[in-house]
């Protein structure tokens, strides 16, 4: 198939999908916001009639005692809970099965996901396996493969980046094949999201920076894509504005509660935007660098973002110009091409000032072809990117990422 035919196929696929998703349930999670909001969650769970929950988190957060106030309030409300804290930075199929067994073995009725993107993904995939005991994780990979109601899910993010508290996606690693299984289905969307800035105050600066750039990647890829609605455009622009105004302040002063709160809402807004409008090749490449080398997702997105935007060139200039204005850059008298160039340069400047590397030392030449194949398998024909990427172009972008 020549390039023009392939591009036409991708656009036709995206067009059909864009119309088809209009029939899906896009109800956003109900929000519990503000400093100390996590303490209000158990009362809400009790009000909804649940008395036994599984808490999915990781050992790092347990060690920091971030869940202590949640546990105390669960006890005060008479809600039994069992904790699964075995989630790895890129949750594995084994993690999902272990969490599922705990849920079923203890008669749980709902799930609390507490942490960053990894506990969120683990909790969602656990719910998917509970709903679909007949399907293993690889069989749930892709679009609309769950299609059955999962247990009620309450999401408590401790980073301002993934937006997982409001998305319909879960990503699970397969250590045997070094692949990531992306599961996308509206049934995975949490029913409630708790945005408590106090839970993010203790984040190390490098986690603040990379998760914040992850949120920016969500906003940017959603906005420049071709499947936007008025709502996704508004949320992507708002997220971009908030991130440029608050991320470096949160990075410089981790106790800046206002900056932390604004970043949580930016992450949530970007999450809502890309859930409906999709992401693009930044994520496709990042997922596969994570699967191949264990590179954290936020870090991967931060590094890759400007290179992919460079690749899009003129096809993204008008949309990037809008983002440059939302970011508060000095756009007076400049063409859209100049605004777009300035926006990409500002991303590189932010990365540098927050000690995010420009390239990856982990990438091996012999792996690049496979990484590109897997990235394009994820990206094409689904992602409604400004310009369709072929294998040679994907390989070229990945080579640019090599240290």
Residue 202 has pLDDT above 90, yes or no: no
- Cα separation, 150 vs 226, in Å, equals 30
DSSP type of residue 28:
P
Of the candidates 121, 150, 120, the residue with the CA atom closest to the CA atom of residue 135: 150
Of the candidates 156, 148, 108, the residue with the CA atom closest to the CA atom of residue 128: 148
Number of domains in the chain: 2
- Cα separation, 283 vs 289, in Å, equals 10
> Quick one: pLDDT at residue 143?
86
Measure the CA dihedral 208/211/215/216, to 10°: 70
Alpha helices in 358-390 (DSSP H): 368-379
Same domain assignment for residues 186 and 211? no
For residue 150 the two structure tokens come to 């999962």
Question: Which of 142, 175, 200 is the endpoint of a domain?
Answer: 200
Average pLDDT, the chain: 96
Measured in degrees and rounded to the nearest 5, phi and psi for residue 395 equal -60, -40
> Quick one: pLDDT at residue 80?
98
- Would residue 11 count as lying in a domain? no
How many degrees, rounded to 5, is the angle at CA 318 between CA 329 and CA 384? Answer: 120
Count the Cβ atoms, other than its own, within 10 Å of residue 131.
19
User: Would you call 205 exposed, middle or buried from its count of C-beta atoms within 10 A (0-12, 13-18, 19+)?
Assistant: middle
Count the Cβ atoms, other than its own, within 10 Å of residue 124.
32
> Quick one: pLDDT at residue 77?
98
Tens of pLDDT, residues 58-70: 999 999 999 999 9
Contacts of 13 (CB under 8 A, 6+ apart): 381, 382
User: Would you call 393 exposed, middle or buried from its count of C-beta atoms within 10 A (0-12, 13-18, 19+)?
Assistant: middle
Distance of CA 297 to the CA centre of its chain: 8
User: Given pLDDT bands bounded at 50, 70 and 90, which one contains residue 104?
Assistant: very high
- Tell me which H or E stretch contains 232: helix 230-252
At which residue do the structure tokens 């669960």 appear?
Answer: 74
Distance of CA 250 to the CA centre of its chain: 19
Residue 291 has pLDDT above 90, yes or no: no
Average of per-residue pLDDT across 210-220: 98
> Quick one: pLDDT at residue 178?
81
For residue 151 the two structure tokens come to 């247990």
Residue 181 has pLDDT above 90, yes or no: no
Same domain assignment for residues 248 and 372? yes
- Would residue 19 count as lying in a domain? no
Same domain assignment for residues 347 and 228? yes
Same domain assignment for residues 151 and 216? no
Contacts of 174 (CB under 8 A, 6+ apart): 92, 93, 137, 138, 180, 181, 291
- When comparing pLDDT for 1 and 11, which is higher? 11
* Structural domain range at position 108: 26-200
Question: Which of 200, 224, 252 is the endpoint of a domain?
Answer: 200
Question: Which of 168, 200, 232 is the endpoint of a domain?
Answer: 200
- Cα separation, 329 vs 144, in Å, equals 39
Same domain assignment for residues 95 and 36? yes
Can you give the CATH number for the domain in which 60 is found? 3.40.50.1970
| Residue 191, preceding peptide bond in cis (omega within 30° of 0) | no
- Would residue 194 count as lying in a domain? yes
Same domain assignment for residues 91 and 223? no
Same domain assignment for residues 32 and 94? yes
Same domain assignment for residues 160 and 262? no
Same domain assignment for residues 174 and 263? no
For residue 266 the two structure tokens come to 């930016």
The residues that bridge with 56 in the sheet, in sequence order, are 84, 113
Same domain assignment for residues 160 and 224? no
Average of per-residue pLDDT across 270-290: 95
Tens of pLDDT, residues 350-397: 999 999 999 999 999 999 999 999 999 999 999 999 999 999 999 999
> Quick one: pLDDT at residue 1?
75
User: Given pLDDT bands bounded at 50, 70 and 90, which one contains residue 42?
Assistant: very high
Of the candidates 352, 353, 319, 108, the residue with the CA atom closest to the CA atom of residue 226: 319
> Quick one: pLDDT at residue 142?
87
> Quick one: pLDDT at residue 90?
82
């Amino acid at each position: 198939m020549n390039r023009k035919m392939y591009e036409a196929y991708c656009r036709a696929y995206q067009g059909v999908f864009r119309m088809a998703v209009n029939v899906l349930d896009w109800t956003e999670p109900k929000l519990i916001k503000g400093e100390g909001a996590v303490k209000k969650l158990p009362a809400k769970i009790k009000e909804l009639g649940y008395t036994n929950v599984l808490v999915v988190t990781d050992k790092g957060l347990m060690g920091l005692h971030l869940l202590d106030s949640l546990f105390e309030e669960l006890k005060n409300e008479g809600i039994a809970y069992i904790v699964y804290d075995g989630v790895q930075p890129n949750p594995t199929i084994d993690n999902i099965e272990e969490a599922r067994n705990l849920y079923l073995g203890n008669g749980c009725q709902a799930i609390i996901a507490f942490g960053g993107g990894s506990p969120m993904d683990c909790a969602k995939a656990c719910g998917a396996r509970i709903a679909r005991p007949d399907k293993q994780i690889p069989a749930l990979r892709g679009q609309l493969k769950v299609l059955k109601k999962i247990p009620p899910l309450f999401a408590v993010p401790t980073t301002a980046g993934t937006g997982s508290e409001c998305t319909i996606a879960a990503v699970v690693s397969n250590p045997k094949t070094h692949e990531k299984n992306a599961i996308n289905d509206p049934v995975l969307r949490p029913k409630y999201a708790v945005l408590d800035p106090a839970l993010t105050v203790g984040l190390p600066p490098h986690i603040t920076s990379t998760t914040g750039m992850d949120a920016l990647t969500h906003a940017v890829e959603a906005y420049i894509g071709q499947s936007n609605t008025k709502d996704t455009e508004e949320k992507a622009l708002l997220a971009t504005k908030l991130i440029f105004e608050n991320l470096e302040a949160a990075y410089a002063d981790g106790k800046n509660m206002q900056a932390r709160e604004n970043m949580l809402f930016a992450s949530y807004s970007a999450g809502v935007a890309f859930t409906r409008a999709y992401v693009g090749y930044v994520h496709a490449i990042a997922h596969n660098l994570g699967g191949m080398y264990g590179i954290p997702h936020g870090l991967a997105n931060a590094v890759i973002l400007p290179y992919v935007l460079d690749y899009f060139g003129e096809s993204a200039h008008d949309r990037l110009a809008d983002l440059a204005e939302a970011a508060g850059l000095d756009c007076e008298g400049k063409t859209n091409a100049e605004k777009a160039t300035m926006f990409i340069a500002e991303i590189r400047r932010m990365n540098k000032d927050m000690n995010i590397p420009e390239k990856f030392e982990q990438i091996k030449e012999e792996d690049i072809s496979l990484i590109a194949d897997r990235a394009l398998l994820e990206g094409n024909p689904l992602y409604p990117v400004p310009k369709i990427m072929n294998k040679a172009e994907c390989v070229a972008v990945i080579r640019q990422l090599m240290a």
